[in-house]
Amino acid sequence: MSNLLVIKAHPLTATESRSLAILDTFVSSYKENQPESQVTILDIFEEEIPEIDKALFEAWGKAASNQELSAEESAKLTRFNELTEQFVNADKIVIANALWNLNIPTRLKAWIDTVVVKGKTFKYSETGPVGLATDKKLLHIQSNGGSFHGSDPATQYIKTIFGFMGVTDINHIFIEGVDHQPENAETIIAAAKEEAVKLAKVF
C-alpha cells in the first residue's frame, strides 16, 4: 500500500485559492483511482510547524549533550522529528502553494527544513552530499499570477532542494497567467484540473 503525503501550503480555502482548488481535484481523483493508497493531508498553516531558530538550536545542543530539556524544548523537538518521519514514511508527496513575491510561502520553507535532515533524507560521502529519498515522487502544484513556465525562483528551489534529497521524479501543474489574462481564467483553470485528473491516475 502506498502512502501519499499532501502538503497544503496556502492559508485560504479551495474556494479562494486556485492552487488548493486544483489540489482538491487531484486528491479526489487520486482516491477514486487508487483507493488502496493511504492519504495524509498536512495543512501547514493550521498545524504546528517548528521553525529553525535560536530555541531549536539550543534544544538540539542540549539533546546532543544529554542535558535535560524543558517541556517546551521537548515538545518542539518531538514535533520536528514527527514531521521528518512523516516525510520519510511517504512514498509520494504533493505540495500545493501560490507564488508569493517570486518565492514559496515562509511556512512551506519551514516545513521543508523539517524534512531536509542529515541521516534521514541525505548523507555526506567522500564525494559530497547524497540524497536518500530516491524512492519518492513529487507533484508540485503552483498558482502564479503571471506566466513563468517553471522558470520562477520558487519552482527552481523546489526542484533543487528535493533533488538534493534524491527526489528526481517530479511533476508540476502550473495555474498561471490568470491575473494577467483574466479573460482566459476559466480556460486556464479547466486545463489545470484536466491535468490534475490525468496525473492522479498514474501518480
The closest of 157, 189, 50, 163 to 113, measured between CA atoms, is 50
Give Cα separations from 24 to 47, 69, 135, 141 (angstroms).
19, 40, 25, 11
- Tell me: the pLDDT tens digits for 77-119? 999 999 999 999 999 999 999 999 999 999 999 999 999 999 9
Indicate the domain borders of the chain: 3-201
- Tell me: the pLDDT tens digits for 123-181? 999 999 999 999 999 999 999 999 999 999 999 999 999 999 999 999 999 999 988 89
| Binding-site sequence positions | 17-19, 143-146
Check: CB of residue 169 under 8 Å from CB of residue 203.
no
Q: How many CA atoms lie within 13 A of 119 on its CB side?
A: 1
Query: Does the domain formed by 3-201 have CATH 3.40.50.360?
Result: yes
| Binding-site sequence positions for FMN | 17-19, 143-146
